[in-house]
Structure 1
Amino acid sequence: MLKHLLLPALLILTLAGCQQGPDRAALEQYASTAMPADTELADIYQRSCQACHSRGSTGAPLTGDEAAWEPRLEQGMDTLLSHVVDGFGGMPPYGLCMDCSASEFEHLIAFMSHYPEAP
């Protein structure tokens, strides 16, 4: 009986290991240097988001850390926008960008929540 339970568990763990994203060092390196391609978004990101989302020590999900962003994204964009506007946990109201639009916040969230595919 135990053999029948262990084999599927090992198979699942093996397959999960094959689908892992970047290792932690690569993720932290990416987060510390990532910048949106759009120059206006890059300016906003640099002055309002980067300080917290580029360092693992702040508690904010790192830019590119899809695993950390996944449960947040599952809440839906309306909830994420509400957290940005109202502040949530350590997130300050408006993410320190008082003049940002909802569209800009959505684009920044999309940028920060994905790790780029290897070329």
Structure 2
Amino acid sequence: MRKAPLSLLALTVAGLLAGCDQGPDQATVVAYAASAQPADPALAEIYQRSCQACHSRGTSDAPLVGDETAWQPRLEQGMDTLLTHVVEGYGGMPPYGLCMDCNAAEFEQLIQFMSHYPDNS
């Protein structure tokens, strides 16, 4: 039996470890987005009536819940900019994200929930 060169083994291990730093694949994100709900019941109610239709199905340009890759450029703009986009409307999102009775703290909590995939560690 012939042994694999040490350099090949090192490259294989390095490749596997590099894959560990990547988030979930798109199919996993889509499945998560379809069923994800905030843990807080009041926030979950707001999410269900105002956010879920666009952020859970992938049928619009809205970033899916848990799709950190799609959310990253938005988060880089800063929370103040994101809150302004929510309140004023932005792209296909209507003003207030259809939640006319929501406050800035609730919007921020919803953005935090939607923009992160749960940590399984």
Question: Which residue pairs with 1:6 in the alignment?
Answer: none
Question: Which residue pairs with 2:103 in the alignment?
Answer: 101
Question: Which residue pairs with 1:39 in the alignment?
Answer: 41
Partners of 2:119 and 2:84 lie apart in 1 by 29
Letter matched to residue 54 of structure 1: S
Partners of 1:16 and 1:49 lie apart in 2 by 34
TM-score normalised by length of structure 2: 0.83
C-alpha deviation, 1:17, in angstroms? 3.5
Question: Which residue pairs with 2:5 in the alignment?
Answer: none
Q: Which runs of 5+ in 1 are unaligned?
A: 1-9
Partners of 1:110 and 1:18 lie apart in 2 by 23
Letter matched to residue 41 of structure 2: T
Partners of 1:66 and 1:25 lie apart in 2 by 13
The structure carrying a bigger helix percent of its residues is 1
Q: Which stretch of the first structure deviates more once superposed, 55-64 or 36-45? A: 55-64
Q: Which runs of 5+ in 2 are unaligned?
A: 1-10
Number of corresponding residues: 107
- Give the superposed CA RMSD: 1.5
C-alpha deviation, 1:63, in angstroms? 0.3
Structure 1 position 21 matched with structure 2 position 19:
no
Partners of 1:16 and 1:57 lie apart in 2 by 31
C-alpha deviation, 1:16, in angstroms? 5.1
- Deviation beyond 3 Å, 4+ runs, structure 1: 14-18
TM-score normalised by length of structure 1: 0.85
Query: How many percent of aligned residue pairs carry the same amino acid?
Result: 73
Structure 1 position 67 matched with structure 2 position 87:
no
